[in-house]
A and B are shown apart, each in its own frame.
Chain A
Amino acid sequence: MAILSPLIAGLIFGLGLCLSGMIDPRKVLAFLDLAGDWDPSLALVMGGAVTVAFVAFRVAGRRASSLAGRAFELPTTTTIDAKLLGGAVIFGVGWGLVGLCPAPAIVNIGFFDARALLFVLAMAAGLKACDVLFSLRTGAPDLRASSPGDGAE
């Protein structure tokens, strides 16, 4: 089943976000607020996640294809350009305003949180706006190119 394993990945991901407390915007903001009462938890979340994922990428690097027989879809772009950095800075402003990034916002919908749903709808509008703006400027929808992006597009 092509959808069973992504479903399980989403479940494990969501469980991790719940267990780590990263679904709580206050906890995320307490990490970002270096000048206030600082809560370093987010650093440990990332440390744990990166360590396990690092091993996984090493394992994947030794294999020709995934267990489902698919070729690995890994990002190929290596250039650090204005779009990358500008996008990251804009994302960081939104993250710092509310304390939500995409995955925890989506998980919070599962707690029947109407404000999380509103945030996710605004997120969808924001990414649409980006597509429209950049396809108008360049004349080509390069953000929807077929090569996978860093964010698993």
Chain B
Amino acid sequence: MFMHIDWVHFTPWSALAGGIFIGLAAAWLLIIDGRVLGASGIFAGLVAPRRGDLAWRLALIFGLIVSPFLAAVLFGTVGAGVSAEIPTLIVAGLLVGFGTRLGKGCTSGHGVCGLARLSSRSAAATAAFMASGFLTIFITRHLLS
């Protein structure tokens, strides 16, 4: 198999540093609050709330939403811009919401925390969504267009 690495757009250092930040966020929430950092599960608790379980989720999601302001100051980050067509966005959003609810986790819950816990269940989920993501873009970019 011949792979062509895009050296121009590959950003190893900021990727690694950003990854370490994400790991630190997971460490923070675990060590201080005893909770696992999984974005889809935390978000789900806002959409289908349980009594007495809302405030910390709102706070964490609020932190995510205001983080760009801090990132702009610290790293000079500017918005990348979501450019997908509206119908594609809606379909993809529905699939991501449905799939992460059914599979109980996303890139952070299964992909980061699950792998870090050495959970074979999360490893299987991560392999499945990675494979499905690879296949999806192969079909849309190389077979259909």
A contacts, CB < 8 Å to B: 2-27, 29-30, 32-42, 44-57, 59-60, 63, 65-68, 70-75, 77-80, 83-103, 105-113, 115-116, 118-131, 134, 143-144, 146, 148-153
Contact = CB atoms under 8 A, between A and B. Distances in A.
A56 B23 contact: yes
Contacts of A41: 9-12, 14-15
Contacts of B33: 5-6, 9, 66, 68, 70
Interface residues of B, number: 123
B77 to A, nearest CB: 4
Contacts of B118: 54
Contacts of B57: 6
Contacts of B64: 10-11, 13-14, 103, 106-107, 110
B135 to A, nearest CB: 7
Contacts, number: 556
Nearest to B45: A153
Given A46-B111, A152-B36, 18 more contacts: A2-B55, A3-B55, A7-B60, A16-B21, A17-B18, A39-B9, A44-B12, A49-B116, A53-B30, A56-B116, A71-B34, A97-B136, A108-B79, A115-B86, A123-B97, A130-B97, A131-B48, A150-B110
21 contacts: A6-B35, A8-B63, A15-B70, A27-B80, A41-B14, A46-B107, A48-B23, A49-B19, A52-B20, A78-B121, A84-B124, A91-B103, A95-B96, A98-B89, A101-B96, A102-B40, A107-B65, A119-B96, A129-B97, A150-B41, A152-B36
B141 to A, nearest CB: 6
A78 B119 contact: yes
Contacts of A34: 3, 134, 138
Contact of A152 (B4, B35, B135): B35
